[in-house]
Amino acid sequence: MEILIGHYSLRIPIAETFLFLQNKDVITGLYSKAWTDLNFILFWVVAFTFLRAFVMTVILKPIAIRCGVKGEHQRNRFQEEGWVFVYYSISWTMGMYVLRNSPLWNNWIFWFKPEAIFEGYPHTQLPHQMLWYYYVQLGFWLQQLFVLHIEAPRKDFWALLAHHTVTLLLISGSAISNFWRAGNAVFVVMDLADIILAVSDTGQDPSHLKMSLLLNAYEIIPFELNITEGKWYCRELAWLPILGLGLLQILMFYWFGLILRILFKILRGQSAEDERSDDELEHSNDTK
């Protein structure tokens, strides 16, 4: 990262592609996709690796010690979950800012207007904050896929792997097909659900968006596959985002069911072991 910043200070063009979005229309002030965006995304994958290590080690570890979290394993889990909470809190706030300043915005109760997802499609030019936010999110989820393989194994490893894979496919697919507004709507819904760990309490869920994809889209935009114009909404592909969101919702219900099992155990006076926790907890004798 220091090398990139040093190269940028020397005005080496390649360094700028890692640090800044490039394809700006000087007339409209809007940005379009470019192959150099891959460098920008890669930068954030690396940046999140360092940010995660810094936040967990410098900020969250001392907090865990002061709060009396005993055992190295338990402290590691506290740090990992704490980092995710910090990121989702920031990303949800950023997502709401982007949403609030876009045609998607409805009000503070319903947040977005589903029909606005399709109005003016394809959206091949975007405000800087929308494209920047989208690529940063993509970088985070690519880094999460890496993190999944370096953390202690969890009982729900395969569910997490499926979740991260589907999420990455949805993000990259919506970027390729120019459904940026749909992605923004999903981000703010799912990030809030991740923050409070109970998607049913958010007042929003992917069903609203799936119904919009089913009922609103064809009324506003015609089925047409024209890659040169950025149009990807055709009968052959329209079912893919619905399938992806459906799979995510199934996983949400799976995790929500595990949370309910924990609550029932607490109410019955039993041990409240997290059903999602690491396999090694069953064999751990760590009492540090």
Residues facing 105 on adjacent strands: 112
In angstroms, the CA 81 to CA 20 distance is: 30
In angstroms, the CA 220 to CA 71 distance is: 57
Q: Which of 186, 193, 185 is nearest to 113 (CA)?
A: 185
Instruction: Find out whether 64 and 71 touch, Cβ atoms under 8 Å.
Output: no
Here the tokens at position 127 are 């405000």
CA distances from 99 to 59, 94, 141, 171, 177 (A): 30, 9, 20, 16, 19
User: In sequence order, which ranges of the chain are alpha helices (DSSP H)?
Assistant: 2-9, 13-19, 37-54, 61-66, 72-100, 128-148, 157-176, 180-196, 206-215, 217-220, 239-267
CA distances from 189 to 31, 68, 95, 129, 199 (A): 25, 33, 9, 18, 9
200: DSSP letter: G
In angstroms, the CA 261 to CA 255 distance is: 10
The backbone torsions φ and ψ at residue 112, rounded to the nearest 5 degrees and listed phi first, read -125, 155
Here the tokens at position 136 are 């940063």
Q: Would you list the domain boundaries of the chain?
A: 2-18+34-274
Residues facing 112 on adjacent strands: 105
Here the tokens at position 20 are 């800044």
In angstroms, the CA 49 to CA 62 distance is: 20
Instruction: Find out whether 218 and 132 touch, Cβ atoms under 8 Å.
Output: no
- Predicted confidence at residue 274, as pLDDT, reads 54
Q: How many residues does the chain have?
A: 288
Instruction: Find out whether 175 and 138 touch, Cβ atoms under 8 Å.
Output: yes
Taking the model in full, what pTM does it have?
0.80
288 residues of the chain, pLDDT tens digit each:
555 555 555 566 788 889 899 999 999 999 999 999 999 999 999 999 999 999 999 999 999 888 888 888 788 888 888 898 899 999 999 999 999 999 888 888 777 888 888 888 889 999 999 999 999 999 999 999 998 888 777 778 888 899 899 999 999 999 999 999 989 988 988 888 777 653 333 334 455 455 555 555 656 666 677 777 777 677 777 778 788 888 888 888 888 788 788 788 777 776 555 555 555 444 444 444
